Amino acid sequence: MDSYLVIGNPVAHSKSPHIHARFASLTGQTLTYERLQVEPGHFAARMRELIDQGLKGCNVTVPFKLEACALAQERSDRVHLAGAANTLSFQAGRIQADNTDGIGLVRDIEVNAGQTLRGSRVLLLGAGGAAAGALGPLLLAGPAQLVVSNRTEAKARELVARHHAHASLQAALSRTELLALPLDASLPAFDVVINATAGSLAGAAPPIAASALQPNALVYDMMYGPAAQAFLQWAATQGARPRDGLGMLVEQAAESFFIWRGVRPPTAPVLAHLRQGG
Ligand code: ATR
């Protein structure tokens, strides 16, 4: 039977085994999917052992996404842009890397939340790994304007410059005004605001002023559960539409499943089940 894993540290609370088991049963695929915690410094050696044992693929989570990118012999455009990989596939001894986080975010926003990105004004807060994974797929969705704003402004500028420099996105960039702006109250108003900072985890105050929200803006936190609450509660009190990252989690898993199995699983019943505490 084909076997898959999610590898990280910590990984005990990962919902991925449950999500992939549901996908397998909904699509009639036969596979196993388990969690594996690996100690820092042992990722590459453990991966080689697992490949020798016949593992077909794995999801990679914190803190190994950069190492997963470095280990691969083939990298998708999404991986080149993000500088990180969350999906590895093994074929004929070769390691192929992809990054499904950003496309998962875009699908959750457009398909599940019903918010069109094309022609809209989007603010991406943060310039770390989570923001880097999202920016390429957000650009390809064709917003009129995409502003990256981060506490450390130089990191936002570097992330934007890397995306400007990437030839495969020229078509998207010609439609989209891509900017890095300082995080302060002079930000214009946006249709979609995406929090990709780790600020919520620390219980930090929302890093933007209410004037950055268009009426009825979609305010998205890539986290879910208690970590997303502070930012989303603030958004709700401003009259915005809050949305947590649970749908992104399911959609990025669906894209990984598609890469491995060539079958696109239905996501709505899996997300509904998770929202009910499943
Ligand atoms: P991740 O992989 O989750 O993106 P990361 O790469 O460490 O983690 O990036 C964390 C992001 O959250 C960064 O954009 C960071 O801002 P800096 O670049 O200025 O460090 C942002 N961040 C963390 N704590 C924050 C806070 N209290 N307020 C605002 N931004 C914060």
Average pLDDT taken over every residue of the chain: 94
Å from CA of 148 to ligand 1 middle = 13
- CATH number for the 2-99+248-275 domain, one of 3.40.50.1000, 3.40.50.10860, 3.40.50.2000, 1.20.1050.10? 3.40.50.10860
pTM equals 0.96
Q: What is the pLDDT of residues 22-70, one digit of tens each?
A: 999 999 999 999 999 999 999 999 999 999 999 999 999 999 999 999 9
> Given this chain, do its domains 2-99+248-275 and 102-244 carry the same CATH topology?
yes
Q: Are 72 and 96 in contact (CB under 8 A)?
A: yes
Ligand 1, atom nearest to 131 Cα: 4
Alpha-carbon gap, residue 115 to 86, rounded angstroms: 25
The more confidently predicted of residues 170 and 32 is: 32
Alpha-carbon gap, residue 189 to 58, rounded angstroms: 40
The more confidently predicted of residues 176 and 93 is: 176
Å from CA of 198 to ligand 1 middle = 5
Q: SS3 sequence, 254-268?
A: HHHHHHHHCCCCCCH
155 is catalytic: no
Q: Is 86 in the pocket of ligand 1 (CB under 6 A)?
A: no
Q: Could you say which architecture CATH assigns to the domain 102-244?
A: 3-Layer(aba) Sandwich (3.40)
Q: Is 253 in the pocket of ligand 1 (CB under 6 A)?
A: no
Q: Is 63 in the pocket of ligand 1 (CB under 6 A)?
A: no
Ligand 1, atom nearest to 196 Cα: 4
**What was the pLDDT predicted at 199?**
80
**What was the pLDDT predicted at 185?**
66
Domain ranges in the chain are 2-99+248-275, 102-244
The residue to mutate among 149, 197, 249, having the most atoms of ligand 1 within 8 angstroms of its beta carbon, is 197
